[in-house]
Structure 1
Amino acid sequence: GVNTMNQLPVSTSSRSQTHIFRRALPYVILLLLPLLIFAPVTLGRNTLLPADALYTSEPFRSAALPGIERPHNPLLADLVLENYPWQRFIVESVRAGNLPLWDPFLFAGHPFFANGQHSALYPLSLVFHLFPLPRAYGIFIALQLGLAGIWMYLLGRTLGARRLGAFLAGITFQFSGFLVVSVVHPMIVAAASWLPLLLALTELTIQRRSFLKQGQSMLPWAILGAVALGLQLLAGHAEITYFTLLVLAAFAAWRLCYTALTTPRAQWRAEVLSPAAGLLLMVALGLGLGAVQYIPLYEVVRTSFRQGAVTLEQVLSWAYPKRRILTFLVPNFFGNPTHTTLRDLFTGQLLHATVNAQREHIGAFDWGIKNYVEGGAYLGLLPLLLALLAVFKSARRREGEKARRRKSENLKCWLLRPYTPFFTALALFSLGCIFGTPLYAIVYALPLLSQSHSPFRWVFPLTVAVAALVALGTNVVTEKREGEEARERKSEKAKRQEDENTQHATRNTQYISRLLLFDTAPNTVSILAALAIWGGLLLLGGLWASRLAFDRIEPFVERVFWSLAQAPSAFPDARAFYSYEFPWIQRAALLLIASGIVLRVSRCPIYLPRRLGRRPVWELLAIIVLLVDLAGFGHGFNPQVEPSLLETTPPVVEFLRQDTGLWRFSTFDPHGHKIFNANTGMYFDFQDARGYDSLFTAQYARYMSWIEPQGELPYNRIAPFTQFSSLDSPLTDLLNVKYIVTDVEIPLPKYREVYRDDALRVYENLTVTPRAFSLPQSATLVVPDVEAVGAAIQQYDPRFYAIVEESPEGWGQPLIPEAAEPQAQAVVAYEGNQVVVEARVTEDSWLILGDAYFPGWKAFARPRGDSEDAETEVAIARIAGNFRGVQLAPGDWTVRFKYSPDSVKFGAFFSFLAGMVLLFLAIVWTWRRIYREKEERSTVQRVAKNSLAPILLTLFNRAVDFAFAALMLRILGPANAGDYYYAITIFGWFEILTNFGLDAYLTREVARHRDRGNRYLFNTTAVRLGLSVIGIPLLAGFIALRQNLIAAPASEQVIVAILLLYAGLVPGSISKGLTSFFYAYEKAEYPAAVSTVSTLLKVTLGALALLAGWGIVGLAGVSIAVSLATLGVLGVSAQRLFFRPQWEPD
């Protein structure tokens, strides 16, 4: 026997701690693994920002220190041309106490917050406010890639993968080529990272898996899914969001169909319909949480220069060329923009990328038709093998079945797997889109995607699909190994019997097994391992054979070199081409062999030492091979730059800073030298007439095209001036372009050279128009539309005429406009969202501000010297197709321009509302889990249920009402809001009349005599209806007196609002009776919850009514709908809990 007295007891807490440690370890490792690539830019002193890319053009190039000649990776310049100026602007705006709604530095001003790609509201963007920006970028990317790995790990575990499979899937995703090369676009990395978590939460919602050990639960997973989707939306990349929603919808449809086919029809309500409703709720609330970003974005997209679809043929031309398939095996086969040197395989010399075979200058060995960022699709070789194992896993045979299933039966069994068919189909469909097959026509037909220029972006769903298959494929390897271990444990008799059954097969396959399969039984894993090893050995042998026989095959290599598109443009000769490709193909061969060895070793009973957990050694090998492969691929692609390069202040900047007034600059760059490259003026707070952004207004693109054709619109840029006629244009003067920076002479009389150094010249525009000026009404030219403005400026100088697109209300247009000299007006305050101008005009005039017109700008005028309380709102007109103008009567005025877009207000409110709905649903779910109805309840329980819960929900309702009131006041304005509150006050009088004393009476009497509850309910309801009828002539009499005798007549909308509110009095009064009935039965939580639902419904419909422009009449109409809905819910609840109300007069 065992002497249990001598055994040391194992602490339960110690076991628990060990269990927690084991479960937490993969998350911690995945969070830290990105440091393998990004440690120098997170823990070190370098920055991820490619600051060296600034020094490829003036004014930075001439200010560069020795050694800064070529950027490490010029392909990533967008990070310092777009994202860094955005984050700098956000951080400085927040520090100044302003919301970064409007960017005054580019495009003569444009909406900033609405564009979204800056990820200003994304929670992880907090790092940009906590750390210096050069350091923050590395931290942001490392954390985001860590989260990407964790979310994929969770997806793997949710799909049933073991820890190893989920861990390998997490590594595959976070180090995938798509994410690693997309670091230049942090918003893409942030947005794409969330899809695995969303898929996991979708699956958990469908499974209704237990949440916090509370049994089957659907709602908590849907709530978490909504939060995850909301965060994904706030990351700010609309195209990635679209793909995320497409994949999410397809996965949900697949899983619901699968569940419906494998579940008895009697259980569909619980297993199919309920999860489907939960998923719809998840998506609706997730979109609601992101509304603060996407409603403003929609407004900007509608007015964007990118309006208009491209043809399907054009889109397919931007897909991967077929030869790009090689990069899934050899990622650098077509070069790399960071590879500036190579080792000559024949001489051992280090060759620099200087000239190509055509004697043209080159900076790197990079010959891909697609650039490396768009073409980054590498997933590693071991992941591809594991994904294939998941796809080709043989269907399990039924016990006792001897004959091989027919192909149709095998296919049916394969399709009945819950996950593999979906991710396989997703991977194949994504490949079809990436390579521009006719499959992409399906995507092209979807709403909005006809404007998408990036079929290559389907690398994102492909990456997710392959990573998920890696998790499932690793399960196949593990199950095969465990099956063999089980066989080893069989009794000798059983093994002899099995050997007899398979003796014939063994004789036939023994030789093949030992030679080709490395002495292992043939199965899916061993065959794939052998194929990988032999394939790698053949590739490696062939590669070295070509090296040894190079003299004989050199003519063939030469022909191949010259026949490959763009190869002669990247290498000086065929030998350099061969020397470059050799090590990368050799790397692929070695990794293929290593991956095959991992699979082969998985069949061996080899384990780690006991102190390391005695895990199979192949698991550690798999992790090592995968990390060597993917981390090796990603290492060196992204910059590690000295952050001080961002602090350079060129001499020309010092000169321009001396002018402290309001002005814009542009460049004259006929030779394409990228002087003051896009957006770099923002580094110094200079306002630039150019700009670079994926979204800016069609209005501004049109205005600039009137000056000269805009050839850089396909690249999302407003181009520098290249023609002398553009500099002479009055439209350039009207833009307030005071300075032109150039590297050539400008021989125009209206320009005076004011600065010159060895690299650049600065010319002052002597005829520039002031930022704010006035023109008399007599200079007004009204044209029918904006297209007519372009024709009008050919005849009328827009500096001397106010060209508007609609006749100013109340102003008579002169028959013949008269030219007038613009009179400068003083801009006394200038911030991003607000501009204050002091103007003096002696006749009816236009005050014109030389900043871009856009919906959301409001103007308020007051006599100079008065407080803001004396302001009145004045209409803003679009002047000359681009600028803001307001009409002023003679006098001294202070005009305040304020950017306060309704789209942001509505978006913020809907996000707040979605958050409150999520909070309410969480409260309801928690309440239902912790509260159980009992016959005998303590006084404390009754008080909590009937007092505390209603009080808390009432406070919740007040918070929602307060937010809606703030929105309503902003949208309606003080006058209209006052009208609505007046209507509510009048309605309140009659509500008191119809309910006076009846609520307390009903509650008291029913509590005493519950057997008479129906009678009391019916009779009090009859009294309420009677009082409502009596109130009609009283209301009519009041309105008649009020309109004719008591006060100034109210507006028509006030009268209609009062009547609509009164119409909702009947259902509202009956609802109050039912509420009292619930209180009598001590079930106050029901009407409290219904009241919250009614409040949420009221403010949702009310916000939609305001958005539709229905004003206070729409709000009053909403009250009727909400009253009817409340009555319906309370009535159904009363019938289920108590009895069916019947006709029972007293």
Structure 2
Amino acid sequence: MREQRAFIIFVALLLLCIFIQYYDFIDSAHSLFLAFFWDPTPRIGLYPWLVESTRQLRDGHFPLWCNLKGAGMPLWANYQTAPLNPFNIIFEIFPSLKLLDYLLMLKLFLLGVFSYWLGRELRLCFLARTLAAVSICFCGFIRLNINHINLNVDLWVPAGLVLVEKIYKTQANFAKLIGLSLLSALIFLGGNPQAGFYALVFISGYALIRGGWGSKKKILVIMVSLCFGCALSSVQLFNFIEYLGYSWNYHTGRIFSLDYLSAQRLFSLFFPWLFKPMEFLPEWFKLPGYIGLIPLFLLLFSLSKINRIPRSALFFWIYLIVVWSMIYQLFPFSYLNYLPVLDKIRTPKHAYFGVCLCIAMLSGYGMDYFFKKLVSLRNYILAVSLINFIAVLSLVLAFILSRHIGMINWMPVIIPLILLMSAELLVAYGIFSGKTELAGLVIIGLVCVNVIYLGAGLRPELTDTKFYQYDNNIVPPIYQPIIEDKTLCRMVATGKILSPDLNVLFRANDFREFDGIYPRAYAEKMAEIYGIRIEDLKERYISQGWWFGIEAGHLDHKWLNVFGVKYIISEHRLNSPDLILIGRSQDHYLYMNQDAIPRVWLKLYLSGLDFKNARIYEYKPDMVMVVAHSSENSDLVLADQYAPGWRAFILPAGTEVKIFKEDGIFRKVKLSRGVWEIKFLYQPWGFRIGLFFSIGFLLGMFLLSFAHLTKKYIIKSK
């Protein structure tokens, strides 16, 4: 079959599979991006952050700071915001929620195409490439993370391996160096530093094992390309690193021991959702990726020529064994989890894509050997014995665990076994009859059924999108009085109602916060409100849903008044003399806190606090303009988050004055007697230096590319 025709057939099959899988999200009122598969982050975090970034960019400035979250927090430095990710840039130009759904399907399509091209570079037959691409695109890990930022990173991994293969097969020229540099920059800009770390480890490890000791120059070119990619993404990386210096996060300590899976959970790779959805593993972050029995069966054929195994396949086996052992805590590789850096990265969540890609590509090798009639009867008997043993062992483990978790849904057990037996019979037919192409085509169909039809439990909870449209005027009624209040104030909602960051869509400032990384001063204040030590905050943070919430018992804490929490939303009536009921919806009560302090005030050295003679006359995310009339020496206190990068200037002279911390979290400047106009401006050094490096490297690469092309043109013309 000609390459062009084969590729067209593959594209048609891939598009058909994507349509079958996600047809109910195409041109419908539901959103795939906001759907809840296993992690609510896309709905309650990624989308509001992207909307706020888009607003600020369209207002003409970089989205460096968000003043609608907590007491104010870095936005650009929040790596997950990823404003420079190419898919996010498309949204920033054409903001539309439905467009995000189509972009998710585009990412999935690109992942399939890149995986197919990788198979072609590895000289796999058409059926083998198709099998590998379909297996990785519709494995459980990708389907669970289709709307997560992991896919922004992971989809570039097979493309990176394609470039590595081209460097080894041909001369490592300038164009390939530039291409791999840009691709590694896309990995860094994907929005997930942990997934990016494992993606670069995957590409680097592949390059080292694929090239071997005799390819030192080409390995050097590959490593330099990866470093150039890091330099190109400095504008994102440096600001993030600066933020880490004054942040609190849960990405350290024994919290990550919760992520690792016991060996008993291995069966979940082979059978989809043996238990009812979300009863399979009660902890959402332990959900592994289903890939099915047929790819595992074909994978065993890749060992048919173990004495002549290609180096690329050797890498896939090494990575699969090592990382799989790390995830499932199997001796001796489980000890790698305690190495520096690895002890701070959530290996199961971010390395599982590499495991699934290895399985998919090795199953492609197995299909290639079968198609080329390199699988002997002995190889077949051994593979059948092993896969049947794995299937039986998996069911035994599932049955044992089901006594503690719930009743087994037997349909996802019986159907995979039927499909496996059918594949075994087809392989036997191909071996004895020699008609491996026909048998291979039918096996591809079985794999499609295996990973697409058996999606029980992988359909997400749908979200009503009427409140999530970009720049719409539809606001939950309970928010309306808060939005209409033109004073700078904050709100909270008690318990788990009205998830944090939903407020960002309506430009209301919620004191609660959902994020992956927080200013340490904010975390310390939350610990004080909770009445616990900062050392115990991680357990509290996780137990209440991986975010900082406020309960009814915290409403009388002094810090809520100091932070200017003026509005409180509750599911139940509240009995407090300081709270006035001002509104009610069907499910919620809205109260006004009479003791909330204004956003800005004067702290007079002799006379105490003055809340009347300081006011904010312009308030933007990265700029605040304040005018103050001080009757004596005083401190001007702005009840917003202090952070490195905030600068203050006395106008109109433009003289810079030092910003001090007030109560460990607020910004303040010292004033003498008189009328003052102060400008607070956010200009973090990490962003400025990173922007300089990124532009410098980008300009340098452009000039080098121009010089290279000019030289080639001159040589060609001669």
Letter in 2 for 1:826: R
Indicate the residue corresponding to 2:23 in structure 1. 39
Alignment CA distance shift 1:374-1:35 (3 Å)? farther
Structure 2 residue 627 is the aligned partner of structure 1 residue 838: yes
Structure 2 residue 648 is the aligned partner of structure 1 residue 859: yes
Larger Rg computed on CA atoms? 1
Structure 2 residue 259 is the aligned partner of structure 1 residue 323: no
Q: What do the CA deviations read for 1:685-731 (whole angstroms, capped 9, x no partner)?
A: 110111000111111101222222456423542221442xx433332
TM-score (normalizing by structure 1): 0.58
Q: What do the CA deviations read for 1:222-260 (whole angstroms, capped 9, x no partner)?
A: 221111110111111011011112222222222333x52
Q: 1: CA distance between counterparts of 2:312 and 2:34?
A: 41
Q: 2: CA distance between counterparts of 1:824 and 1:736?
A: 17
Alignment size in residue pairs: 704
Structure 2 residue 687 is the aligned partner of structure 1 residue 904: yes
Alignment CA distance shift 1:698-1:773 (3 Å)? same
Structure 2 residue 510 is the aligned partner of structure 1 residue 688: yes
Indicate the residue corresponding to 1:449 in structure 2. 342
Indicate the residue corresponding to 2:414 in structure 1. 586
Letter in 1 for 2:304: K
**Which residues of 2 match residues 644-1043 of structure 1 at below 5 A?**
644=466, 646=468, 649-667=475-493, 669=494, 672=495, 674-708=496-530, 709=532, 712-714=540-542, 715-723=545-553, 726-757=554-585, 759-778=587-606, 819-862=608-651, 866=652, 870-932=653-715
Work out which of the residue numbers 276, 300, 304 in structure 2 matches 1:388: 300
1:126 aligns to what SS in structure 2?
helix
1:752–1:766 CA contact under 8 A, matched in 2? yes
Q: 2: CA distance between counterparts of 1:307 and 1:650?
A: 32
Q: 1: CA distance between counterparts of 2:237 and 2:93?
A: 26
The 10-residue stretch of structure 1 (592-601 or 144-153) with the greater mean CA deviation from structure 2: 592-601
Structure 2 residue 274 is the aligned partner of structure 1 residue 377: no
2:681 aligns to what SS in structure 1?
strand
Q: 2: CA distance between counterparts of 1:820 and 1:433?
A: 57
Structure 2 residue 80 is the aligned partner of structure 1 residue 117: yes
1:712–1:719 CA contact under 8 A, matched in 2? no
2:367–2:440 CA contact under 8 A, matched in 1? no
Q: What do the CA deviations read for 1:21-55 (whole angstroms, capped 9, x no partner)?
A: 4445535654664222123323444321457xxxx
Deviation at residue 563 of structure 1 after TM alignment: 7.2
Deviation at residue 369 of structure 1 after TM alignment: 4.5
Which of the pair has the greater relative contact order for Cα pairs under 8 Å at 6+ separation? 2
Q: 1: CA distance between counterparts of 2:54 and 2:5?
A: 38
Q: 1: CA distance between counterparts of 2:715 and 2:399?
A: 78
Indicate the residue corresponding to 1:1060 in structure 2. none
Deviation at residue 457 of structure 1 after TM alignment: 3.5
Structure 2 residue 10 is the aligned partner of structure 1 residue 48: no
Q: 1: CA distance between counterparts of 2:136 and 2:188?
A: 20
Alignment CA distance shift 1:375-1:563 (3 Å)? closer
Q: 2: CA distance between counterparts of 1:98 and 1:637?
A: 39
1:230–1:289 CA contact under 8 A, matched in 2? yes
Indicate the residue corresponding to 1:197 in structure 2. 159
Q: 1: CA distance between counterparts of 2:612 and 2:136?
A: 61
Deviation at residue 274 of structure 1 after TM alignment: 1.8
Work out which of the residue numbers 97, 106, 127 in structure 1 matches 2:69: 106
Structure 2 residue 188 is the aligned partner of structure 1 residue 233: yes
Alignment CA distance shift 1:106-1:455 (3 Å)? same
2:127–2:441 CA contact under 8 A, matched in 1? no
2:483–2:507 CA contact under 8 A, matched in 1? no
Q: 2: CA distance between counterparts of 1:124 and 1:157?
A: 26
Q: 1: CA distance between counterparts of 2:422 and 2:90?
A: 39
Alignment CA distance shift 1:248-1:96 (3 Å)? same
Unmatched 5+ stretches in structure 1: 1-14, 52-72, 210-215, 261-271, 338-365, 396-412, 484-520, 544-556, 571-576, 608-614, 779-817, 934-939, 942-1146
Deviation at residue 745 of structure 1 after TM alignment: 4.1
Q: 2: CA distance between counterparts of 1:325 and 1:827?
A: 58
Alignment CA distance shift 1:307-1:622 (3 Å)? closer
Indicate the residue corresponding to 2:454 in structure 1. 633
Indicate the residue corresponding to 1:368 in structure 2. 281
Structure 2 residue 363 is the aligned partner of structure 1 residue 470: yes
Q: 2: CA distance between counterparts of 1:384 and 1:229?
A: 30
Structure 2 residue 273 is the aligned partner of structure 1 residue 273: no
Deviation at residue 476 of structure 1 after TM alignment: 0.9
Indicate the residue corresponding to 1:1034 in structure 2. none
Unmatched 5+ stretches in structure 2: none
Alignment CA distance shift 1:130-1:920 (3 Å)? closer
Alignment CA distance shift 1:728-1:819 (3 Å)? farther
Q: 1: CA distance between counterparts of 2:451 and 2:499?
A: 34
Indicate the residue corresponding to 1:528 in structure 2. 383
Structure 2 residue 97 is the aligned partner of structure 1 residue 242: no
2:270–2:292 CA contact under 8 A, matched in 1? yes
Letter in 2 for 1:617: L
Sequence identity (%): 22
Q: 2: CA distance between counterparts of 1:562 and 1:625?
A: 29
Q: 2: CA distance between counterparts of 1:686 and 1:27?
A: 45
1:326 aligns to what SS in structure 2?
helix
Q: 2: CA distance between counterparts of 1:691 and 1:478?
A: 55
- Measured on the aligned residues, the alpha-carbon RMSD in Å equals 3.2
Indicate the residue corresponding to 2:42 in structure 1. 79
Indicate the residue corresponding to 1:1123 in structure 2. none
Q: What do the CA deviations read for 1:913-965 (whole angstroms, capped 9, x no partner)?
A: 222333344345435544449xxxxxx97xxxxxxxxxxxxxxxxxxxxxxxx
Q: 2: CA distance between counterparts of 1:160 and 1:830?
A: 60
2:614–2:627 CA contact under 8 A, matched in 1? yes
Alignment CA distance shift 1:367-1:171 (3 Å)? closer
**Which residues of 2 match residues 563-574 of structure 1 at below 5 A?**
564=402, 566-567=404-405, 570=406
Alignment CA distance shift 1:430-1:845 (3 Å)? same
Deviation at residue 103 of structure 1 after TM alignment: 0.9
Q: 1: CA distance between counterparts of 2:107 and 2:251?
A: 34
1:183 aligns to what SS in structure 2?
coil
Q: 2: CA distance between counterparts of 1:19 and 1:200?
A: 17
Alignment CA distance shift 1:746-1:644 (3 Å)? closer
Deviation at residue 134 of structure 1 after TM alignment: 3.0
Deviation at residue 628 of structure 1 after TM alignment: 1.1
TM-score (normalizing by structure 2): 0.90
Work out which of the residue numbers 176, 180, 190 in structure 1 matches 2:139: 176
Indicate the residue corresponding to 1:139 in structure 2. 102
Indicate the residue corresponding to 2:120 in structure 1. 157
Deviation at residue 640 of structure 1 after TM alignment: 5.3
1:530–1:596 CA contact under 8 A, matched in 2? no
Letter in 2 for 1:666: V
1:105 aligns to what SS in structure 2?
coil
